[in-house]
Structure 1
Amino acid sequence: MKTRFKNGVHKCMLFSLFISLASCAQKSDDKEVGEALFNGKDLSGWTQKNGKATYEVNDETIVGTTVAGTPNSFLTTDKKYEDFIMELDFKADPSMNSGIQIRSESKPNYQNSRVHGYQIEIDPSDRAWSGGIYDEARRGWLYPLTNNPAAQSAYRKDDWNHYRVEAIGDTLQTWVNGVAAANLVDDKTKEGFIALQVHAIGGDEQPGKQIIWKNVRIITDSLDQYNKKSDAPVFNTKNQLTEAEKEEGWKLLWDGKTTEGWRGAKLDEFPDKGWVIEDGVLTVKSTGGEESAAGGDIVTTENYGDFELKTDFKLTKGGNSGIKYYVDPDLNKGAGSAIGLEYQILDDENHPDAKLGNHEGSRTVASLYDLIKADADKPINPVGEWNTARIVSKNNHLEHWLNGVKVLEYERKSPEYRKLVAESKYEKWPNFGEWEEGPILLQDHGDRVSFKNIKIKPLN
């Protein structure tokens, strides 16, 4: 009897232990991975930027409410994130546009600290681009859902929706209620904060519309264990025009693969040495810093008058190059570079030219070479990272931009401009920089410098 009792106890204990372990195993399997970005109690770890829409915590959710007369509002994480997988649930007023920022920034010298960067769209309208990727306050639409009708049908109006966002390396992917939406390859920004947007409302709209978020979680480690395979169409922005750029009239100035549309500044054909095309990047090789000693400068085969030009460039240590415009290739057939106005490309920290120039600082990066110094507070990424140059010429008004910030402007052909030229080494060239049109030039200055995404929008 005693033995049977002991065996019974042992069997009960073993059965209980089995149930307990099974229960623990089930809990372990169901355990949410990653970390919560929102603690369900307050907005610790978050900061509001730009607009004055209200954000409050209610029943373990974040409630954003529109307010009249204010720009877009963003509740941003205090922490920055690079590679991650994020999931969250939200419910938006069916007449309300909104979005979720990732890898985004806010800088004093960029549009007065305006939030900018990738936005995962929340679009309850009939357009139905929820889950698409918009570049807030920068390039506009990068990945609309025009070619993904399955994703356009995935969003549930006036109901809870679930988003999954994967940002790994240069690939950004989204899912809407389990349906693959965007699949974008773009390397504009590697890191930034995450933000919940309450969009501004028009003057004829009633304030008080709400969007509610909950279950905001993020994974930042061992991403290869959790990432999913998207079957959404891939769009790679490298050397491609986005839908927004096409609508605005932009054209590719370089196709990313061939030398079509370009020739040597002093040649009828493209140089057979000195320049190389690899993986969608156009690079002038290093020859020890001697100007035009290898392949020489290259110019477009077409001329341009008023225009807007943009390109990404990457420097090596001590690198020197430039983008010239209103060039006259028939001048200076001898040694050295072709003649034209120049957007300087330079490693200011390591190249001696940064301390030279007819006007102090006028040979630093983004300056009008030897004539006008770029703003000293310009935003420049470190050597080895990509930067974006932009040049705007309209009715003789010229602007140089660097990474989205205007760093100088001047009036071509004005008395002030002509005085600068008269005091410079360009004084010997008649009507320097005043030609009605000319090709665009990329300079061979003997240092390794790379270019991609070379685009132009004619303005005349």
Structure 2
Amino acid sequence: MKINLLSTLACSLLTATSFAQTDFKPEDTEFYSPKPPVVTLKAQVPSDAIVLFDGTNLNQWESNKTTGQPAPWTVENGTLTVKPGTGDIQTKQKFEDFQLHIEWKSPEKIKGEGQGRGNSGIFLQGLYELQVLDNNNNPTYVNGQAGSIYKQRPPLVEVRAEGDNWHRYDVIYKAPRFNKDGMLISKGMVTVLHNGVLVQNNTQIEGATAYIGLPKLEAHGAGPIILQDHGDMVHFRNIWIRPL
């Protein structure tokens, strides 16, 4: 009896659903507002992007050693170059969720091996490092090679530089969320395209980058983009960001 009752109920629901679907008109599932904002491209930069470096100056950046002090790296011929020994630089603005585009190139004079060759990094919210490293036949630990979330997630594939030796990263980042008491609601997630190839696919970030030990996650708000001085004259260009 129970089985028959369940079967009858299931058939009734299926019939009702089928009837409801046939009762729809196409316009019943169409909506016209709110309309998405219009975004155009100028020199491959979205019109709603914040240009962090256009090849002319470091007005959007400051020293990470001393907040408020000018960024001490070199700008020449449209390229931003690490000035070893001067420390990291960071954006004056702070961000949470964003789309980031940044291009980088290893030093002209290659020296060292592994982590000692063409090393820099891009710190999302100032805490989570997307690795920059010369990867032209340069063996190292896979969660520390170019395209990795440093010491956490190796890239899905290794992508080499194109003919001009410039790399480009396109990053979609969702910041971790905490409640008012500082308790974790959700961890950060990141997707990275390296020269147009997917290398991080909605990857969960476990915590702040740590060179020694395991990553730790502490409550925080918006944070800057930091470029790392690791002692190598790594080059950067065409940096823009779209807060999401």
Q: Same fold (TM over 0.5)?
A: yes
CA spacing shift, 1:296–1:245, aligned 2, 3 Å: same
Q: Secondary structure at the match of 2:46?
A: helix
- State the one-letter code of the partner of 1:425: I
The reply on whether 1:344 has 2:131 as its aligned counterpart is: yes
Q: Specify the alignment match of 2:10 in structure 1.
A: none
CA distance in 2, matches of 1:423, 1:244: 33
With a CA cutoff of 8 Å and minimum separation of 6, indicate the structure with the bigger relative contact order.
2
How is 1:109-188 mapped onto 2 (pairs within 5 angstroms)? none
Q: How many residues in Structure 1 have an aligned counterpart in Structure 2?
A: 185
**Superposed displacement of residue 384, structure 1:** 6.1
The answer to whether the Cα contact below 8 Å between 1:326 and 1:435 also exists between their aligned partners in 2 is no
TM-score, with normalisation over the residues of structure 1?
Answer: 0.37
**Superposed displacement of residue 374, structure 1:** 0.4
How is 1:59-458 mapped onto 2 (pairs within 5 angstroms)? 241-242=42-43, 245-246=46-47, 249-268=48-67, 269-272=69-72, 275-285=73-83, 287=84, 294-316=85-107, 317=110, 318-327=117-126, 340-349=127-136, 351=138, 354-356=139-141, 361-376=142-157, 378-381=158-161, 385-394=165-174, 396-412=188-204, 417=206, 425=212, 427=214, 429=216, 431=218, 435-458=220-243
CA distance in 2, matches of 1:307, 1:392: 6
**Superposed displacement of residue 271, structure 1:** 4.3
CA spacing shift, 1:369–1:255, aligned 2, 3 Å: same
Q: Secondary structure at the match of 1:425?
A: coil
CA distance in 2, matches of 1:312, 1:423: 24
Give the unaligned 5+ runs of structure 2.
1-38, 111-116, 176-187
CA distance in 2, matches of 1:349, 1:313: 14
The answer to whether the Cα contact below 8 Å between 2:151 and 2:210 also exists between their aligned partners in 1 is no
- State the one-letter code of the partner of 2:189: H
Q: Secondary structure at the match of 2:128?
A: strand
CA distance in 2, matches of 1:350, 1:362: 16
Calculate percent identity across the aligned residue pairs. Answer: 30
CA distance in 2, matches of 1:349, 1:243: 27
CA spacing shift, 1:383–1:425, aligned 2, 3 Å: farther
**Superposed displacement of residue 383, structure 1:** 8.8
**Superposed displacement of residue 424, structure 1:** 7.1
The answer to whether the Cα contact below 8 Å between 1:321 and 1:449 also exists between their aligned partners in 2 is yes
Give the unaligned 5+ runs of structure 1.
1-139, 143-240, 288-293, 328-339
RMSD of the alignment, in Å? 2.9
- State the one-letter code of the partner of 1:405: V
- State the one-letter code of the partner of 1:312: E
CA distance in 2, matches of 1:314, 1:423: 24
CA spacing shift, 1:242–1:319, aligned 2, 3 Å: same
**Superposed displacement of residue 257, structure 1:** 1.6
The answer to whether the Cα contact below 8 Å between 1:252 and 1:455 also exists between their aligned partners in 2 is yes
- State the one-letter code of the partner of 2:228: Q
The answer to whether the Cα contact below 8 Å between 1:141 and 1:242 also exists between their aligned partners in 2 is no
The answer to whether the Cα contact below 8 Å between 1:321 and 1:442 also exists between their aligned partners in 2 is yes
TM-score, with normalisation over the residues of structure 2?
Answer: 0.66
Q: Specify the alignment match of 1:106 in structure 2.
A: none
**Superposed displacement of residue 427, structure 1:** 3.7
**Superposed displacement of residue 400, structure 1:** 1.6
Q: Secondary structure at the match of 1:362?
A: helix
Q: Specify the alignment match of 1:11 in structure 2.
A: none
